[in-house]
Structure 1
Protein backbone atom coordinates (compact mmCIF):
# COMPACT_ATOMS: atom_id res chain seq x y z
CA UNK A 1 0.00 0.00 0.00
CA UNK A 2 2.82 2.42 0.77
CA UNK A 3 4.24 1.79 -2.74
CA UNK A 4 1.01 3.02 -4.35
CA UNK A 5 0.91 6.17 -2.25
CA UNK A 6 4.55 7.04 -2.91
CA UNK A 7 4.16 6.78 -6.71
CA UNK A 8 1.04 8.98 -6.90
CA UNK A 9 2.99 12.26 -6.84
CA UNK A 10 5.33 10.92 -9.52
CA UNK A 11 2.40 9.91 -11.74
CA UNK A 12 0.80 13.32 -11.17
CA UNK A 13 3.98 15.15 -12.17
CA UNK A 14 4.40 12.90 -15.21
CA UNK A 15 0.83 13.54 -16.37
CA UNK A 16 1.19 17.29 -15.84
CA UNK A 17 4.44 17.30 -17.82
CA UNK A 18 2.83 15.39 -20.68
CA UNK A 19 -0.14 17.77 -20.71
CA UNK A 20 2.13 20.83 -20.82
CA UNK A 21 4.26 19.27 -23.56
CA UNK A 22 1.18 18.66 -25.68
CA UNK A 23 0.09 22.28 -25.25
CA UNK A 24 3.52 23.55 -26.20
CA UNK A 25 3.73 21.57 -29.43
CA UNK A 26 0.18 22.60 -30.35
CA UNK A 27 1.10 26.26 -29.87
CA UNK A 28 4.28 25.84 -31.88
CA UNK A 29 2.36 24.09 -34.66
CA UNK A 30 -0.23 26.90 -34.70
CA UNK A 31 2.46 29.55 -35.12
CA UNK A 32 4.17 27.60 -37.91
CA UNK A 33 0.83 27.01 -39.65
CA UNK A 34 0.00 30.73 -39.73
CA UNK A 35 3.45 31.65 -41.04
CA UNK A 36 3.22 28.93 -43.70
CA UNK A 37 -0.29 30.06 -44.72
CA UNK A 38 0.91 33.66 -44.94
CA UNK A 39 3.78 32.82 -47.29
CA UNK A 40 1.63 30.41 -49.33
CA UNK A 41 -0.92 33.20 -49.86
CA UNK A 42 1.85 35.53 -51.01
CA UNK A 43 3.26 32.89 -53.38
CA UNK A 44 -0.24 32.55 -54.88
CA UNK A 45 -0.54 36.38 -55.15
CA UNK A 46 -3.59 36.14 -52.88
CA UNK A 47 -3.32 39.48 -51.11
CA UNK A 48 -6.68 39.15 -49.37
CA UNK A 49 -5.67 35.86 -47.72
CA UNK A 50 -2.26 37.24 -46.72
CA UNK A 51 -3.84 40.40 -45.25
CA UNK A 52 -6.30 38.32 -43.24
CA UNK A 53 -3.27 36.86 -41.43
CA UNK A 54 -1.76 40.25 -40.54
CA UNK A 55 -2.15 41.86 -37.12
CA UNK A 56 -4.44 44.93 -37.24
CA UNK A 57 -1.62 47.44 -36.63
CA UNK A 58 0.57 45.78 -39.27
CA UNK A 59 -2.22 45.85 -41.83
CA UNK A 60 -2.94 49.50 -41.05
CA UNK A 61 0.74 50.49 -41.27
CA UNK A 62 1.10 48.73 -44.63
CA UNK A 63 -1.98 50.47 -46.05
CA UNK A 64 -0.83 53.88 -44.80
CA UNK A 65 2.74 53.57 -46.04
CA UNK A 66 1.71 52.17 -49.45
CA UNK A 67 -1.33 54.40 -49.90
CA UNK A 68 -3.30 51.39 -51.16
CA UNK A 69 -5.59 48.71 -49.77
CA UNK A 70 -3.73 45.89 -48.03
CA UNK A 71 -4.48 43.15 -50.62
CA UNK A 72 -2.83 45.21 -53.35
CA UNK A 73 -0.02 46.64 -51.22
CA UNK A 74 1.14 43.34 -49.76
CA UNK A 75 1.49 41.68 -53.17
CA UNK A 76 3.47 44.69 -54.42
CA UNK A 77 5.96 44.23 -51.56
CA UNK A 78 7.19 41.07 -53.31
CA UNK A 79 8.30 39.30 -50.15
CA UNK A 80 10.35 36.26 -51.14
CA UNK A 81 9.26 32.84 -49.94
CA UNK A 82 11.47 31.80 -47.04
CA UNK A 83 13.97 29.02 -47.63
CA UNK A 84 13.67 25.78 -45.70
CA UNK A 85 11.62 24.86 -42.68
CA UNK A 86 11.29 27.48 -39.99
CA UNK A 87 12.41 27.20 -36.39
CA UNK A 88 9.56 28.32 -34.11
CA UNK A 89 10.04 30.19 -30.82
CA UNK A 90 7.05 31.05 -28.62
CA UNK A 91 7.24 33.56 -25.77
CA UNK A 92 3.78 33.67 -24.15
CA UNK A 93 1.77 35.83 -26.61
CA UNK A 94 4.65 36.65 -28.98
CA UNK A 95 6.49 34.32 -31.31
CA UNK A 96 8.80 34.18 -34.25
CA UNK A 97 9.62 31.77 -37.02
CA UNK A 98 13.26 31.84 -38.08
CA UNK A 99 13.90 30.76 -41.64
CA UNK A 100 17.25 30.75 -43.41
CA UNK A 101 18.06 34.47 -43.69
CA UNK A 102 14.60 35.74 -42.68
CA UNK A 103 12.45 35.97 -39.55
CA UNK A 104 8.69 36.41 -39.25
CA UNK A 105 7.17 37.71 -36.01
CA UNK A 106 3.67 36.82 -34.80
CA UNK A 107 1.44 37.88 -31.92
CA UNK A 108 -1.44 36.08 -30.25
CA UNK A 109 -4.77 37.90 -30.62
CA UNK A 110 -8.33 36.97 -29.63
CA UNK A 111 -8.80 35.28 -33.01
CA UNK A 112 -5.44 33.48 -33.04
CA UNK A 113 -1.86 34.07 -34.17
CA UNK A 114 -1.32 36.98 -36.57
CA UNK A 115 1.78 38.18 -38.42
CA UNK A 116 3.14 41.36 -36.81
CA UNK A 117 6.27 41.67 -38.99
CA UNK A 118 7.62 39.80 -42.00
CA UNK A 119 10.66 39.81 -44.20
CA UNK A 120 12.85 40.64 -41.22
CA UNK A 121 16.62 40.36 -41.25
CA UNK A 122 18.83 40.49 -38.18
CA UNK A 123 21.26 43.41 -37.83
CA UNK A 124 23.06 42.82 -34.53
CA UNK A 125 23.36 44.81 -32.35
CA UNK A 126 20.54 46.81 -33.98
CA UNK A 127 16.86 45.80 -34.18
CA UNK A 128 15.60 43.67 -37.04
CA UNK A 129 15.00 45.37 -40.39
CA UNK A 130 11.54 44.28 -41.61
CA UNK A 131 9.92 44.72 -45.00
CA UNK A 132 6.46 44.66 -43.39
CA UNK A 133 5.83 45.69 -39.78
CA UNK A 134 3.21 47.43 -37.74
CA UNK A 135 3.23 50.35 -35.32
Structure 2
Protein backbone atom coordinates (compact mmCIF):
# COMPACT_ATOMS: atom_id res chain seq x y z
CA UNK A 1 0.00 0.00 0.00
CA UNK A 2 2.91 2.37 0.69
CA UNK A 3 4.05 1.98 -2.91
CA UNK A 4 0.59 2.81 -4.17
CA UNK A 5 0.55 5.89 -1.94
CA UNK A 6 3.90 6.99 -3.35
CA UNK A 7 2.75 6.28 -6.89
CA UNK A 8 -0.39 8.34 -6.41
CA UNK A 9 1.59 11.29 -5.11
CA UNK A 10 3.94 11.15 -8.08
CA UNK A 11 1.06 10.84 -10.53
CA UNK A 12 -0.53 13.98 -9.16
CA UNK A 13 2.71 15.86 -9.78
CA UNK A 14 2.61 15.09 -13.52
CA UNK A 15 -1.00 16.13 -14.13
CA UNK A 16 -1.40 18.46 -17.05
CA UNK A 17 1.73 17.27 -18.83
CA UNK A 18 1.84 15.58 -22.20
CA UNK A 19 1.69 11.80 -22.12
CA UNK A 20 5.11 10.61 -20.99
CA UNK A 21 7.26 8.08 -22.78
CA UNK A 22 6.03 4.58 -22.00
CA UNK A 23 2.41 5.66 -21.58
CA UNK A 24 1.26 3.63 -24.58
CA UNK A 25 2.67 0.29 -23.40
CA UNK A 26 1.42 0.85 -19.83
CA UNK A 27 -2.05 1.74 -21.09
CA UNK A 28 -2.04 -1.31 -23.38
CA UNK A 29 -1.08 -3.59 -20.48
CA UNK A 30 -3.91 -2.18 -18.36
CA UNK A 31 -6.34 -2.70 -21.25
CA UNK A 32 -5.23 -6.34 -21.71
CA UNK A 33 -5.77 -6.99 -18.00
CA UNK A 34 -9.23 -5.41 -17.98
CA UNK A 35 -10.20 -7.16 -21.23
CA UNK A 36 -9.24 -10.52 -19.68
CA UNK A 37 -11.33 -9.77 -16.58
CA UNK A 38 -14.29 -8.60 -18.65
CA UNK A 39 -13.99 -11.70 -20.84
CA UNK A 40 -14.03 -14.04 -17.84
CA UNK A 41 -10.45 -15.17 -18.53
CA UNK A 42 -9.12 -15.33 -14.99
CA UNK A 43 -5.91 -17.19 -15.81
CA UNK A 44 -5.04 -14.64 -18.49
CA UNK A 45 -5.78 -11.78 -16.08
CA UNK A 46 -3.57 -13.36 -13.41
CA UNK A 47 -0.72 -13.68 -15.91
CA UNK A 48 -0.87 -9.89 -16.30
CA UNK A 49 -0.54 -9.25 -12.56
CA UNK A 50 2.72 -8.47 -10.79
CA UNK A 51 3.96 -11.59 -8.96
CA UNK A 52 3.06 -10.22 -5.51
CA UNK A 53 -0.47 -9.31 -6.61
CA UNK A 54 -1.02 -12.72 -8.21
CA UNK A 55 0.30 -14.44 -5.07
CA UNK A 56 -2.07 -12.48 -2.84
CA UNK A 57 -5.04 -13.65 -4.93
CA UNK A 58 -3.69 -17.21 -5.20
CA UNK A 59 -4.29 -17.55 -1.46
CA UNK A 60 -8.05 -17.10 -1.99
CA UNK A 61 -10.38 -20.06 -2.44
CA UNK A 62 -10.17 -21.26 -6.03
CA UNK A 63 -6.82 -19.58 -6.63
CA UNK A 64 -5.99 -16.42 -8.53
CA UNK A 65 -7.98 -17.21 -11.68
CA UNK A 66 -11.27 -17.46 -9.81
CA UNK A 67 -10.50 -14.79 -7.22
CA UNK A 68 -9.74 -12.07 -9.76
CA UNK A 69 -13.08 -12.66 -11.46
CA UNK A 70 -15.02 -12.64 -8.17
CA UNK A 71 -13.77 -9.14 -7.32
CA UNK A 72 -16.21 -7.48 -9.69
CA UNK A 73 -13.62 -5.15 -11.21
CA UNK A 74 -15.21 -2.63 -13.60
CA UNK A 75 -13.34 -4.01 -16.61
CA UNK A 76 -14.00 -1.01 -18.83
CA UNK A 77 -14.08 2.76 -18.86
CA UNK A 78 -12.71 5.76 -20.66
CA UNK A 79 -9.01 6.48 -20.13
CA UNK A 80 -8.72 9.80 -18.30
CA UNK A 81 -4.96 9.92 -17.70
CA UNK A 82 -1.82 7.81 -17.99
CA UNK A 83 1.16 8.84 -15.88
CA UNK A 84 4.54 7.11 -16.10
CA UNK A 85 7.58 7.81 -13.97
CA UNK A 86 10.49 5.44 -14.30
CA UNK A 87 9.23 1.88 -13.86
CA UNK A 88 5.91 2.90 -12.28
CA UNK A 89 2.66 3.89 -13.98
CA UNK A 90 -0.88 4.89 -13.11
CA UNK A 91 -3.75 4.45 -15.56
CA UNK A 92 -6.84 6.39 -14.51
CA UNK A 93 -10.12 5.37 -16.10
CA UNK A 94 -13.59 6.77 -15.60
CA UNK A 95 -14.45 3.63 -13.59
CA UNK A 96 -11.15 2.46 -12.08
CA UNK A 97 -7.52 3.30 -11.41
CA UNK A 98 -4.72 0.80 -12.01
CA UNK A 99 -1.10 0.89 -10.87
CA UNK A 100 1.54 -0.91 -12.91
CA UNK A 101 5.24 -1.72 -12.65
CA UNK A 102 7.60 -2.31 -15.57
CA UNK A 103 9.31 -5.69 -15.16
CA UNK A 104 11.80 -7.30 -17.57
CA UNK A 105 8.87 -8.95 -19.38
CA UNK A 106 6.87 -5.73 -19.59
CA UNK A 107 4.23 -3.81 -17.66
CA UNK A 108 2.29 -5.80 -15.04
CA UNK A 109 -0.58 -4.68 -12.82
CA UNK A 110 0.30 -4.05 -9.16
CA UNK A 111 -3.03 -2.51 -8.17
CA UNK A 112 -6.51 -2.65 -9.70
CA UNK A 113 -9.98 -1.72 -8.61
CA UNK A 114 -8.41 1.30 -6.90
CA UNK A 115 -10.43 4.24 -5.67
CA UNK A 116 -9.32 7.34 -3.77
CA UNK A 117 -9.76 6.81 -0.04
CA UNK A 118 -9.29 10.13 1.78
CA UNK A 119 -7.36 10.84 3.85
CA UNK A 120 -5.28 7.96 2.47
CA UNK A 121 -4.36 7.72 -1.21
CA UNK A 122 -6.17 4.68 -2.70
CA UNK A 123 -7.97 1.55 -1.60
CA UNK A 124 -7.43 -1.29 -4.10
CA UNK A 125 -9.23 -4.59 -4.62
CA UNK A 126 -6.02 -6.10 -6.03
CA UNK A 127 -2.65 -4.96 -4.75
CA UNK A 128 0.90 -6.17 -4.53
Which of the five TM-score ranges fits, normalised by the shorter chain?
Answer: 0.7 to 0.9
| 8 A contact 2:112–2:127 mirrored in 1 | yes
Residue 88 of structure 1: aligned partner: 82
Q: 115, 120, 124: which is aligned to 1:126?
A: 120
| Matched residues, number | 110
RMSD: 1.7
Deviation at 1:76, TM superposition (A): 1.4
Unaligned runs of 5+ in 1: 1-20
Q: 7, 28, 31: which is aligned to 1:36?
A: 31
Residue 98 of structure 2: aligned partner: 104
| 8 A contact 1:62–1:133 mirrored in 2 | no
Residue 43 of structure 2: aligned partner: 48
Query: What is the TM-score with the length of structure 1 in the denominator?
Result: 0.75
Unaligned runs of 5+ in 2: 1-17
| 8 A contact 2:87–2:102 mirrored in 1 | yes
SS of equivalent residue, structure 2 residue 125: strand
Aligned residue runs from structure 1 range 19-34, under 5 A: 24=21, 27-34=22-29
Q: Which runs of 4+ in 1 moved over 6 A?
A: none
Aligned residue runs from structure 1 range 9-28, under 5 A: 24=21, 27-28=22-23
Query: What is the TM-score with the length of structure 2 in the denominator?
Result: 0.79
SS of equivalent residue, structure 1 residue 81: coil
Cα gap change, 1:85 to 1:34, in 2 (>3 Å): same
| 8 A contact 1:86–1:100 mirrored in 2 | yes
Question: Which shows bigger deviation, 77-86 or 115-124?
Answer: 77-86
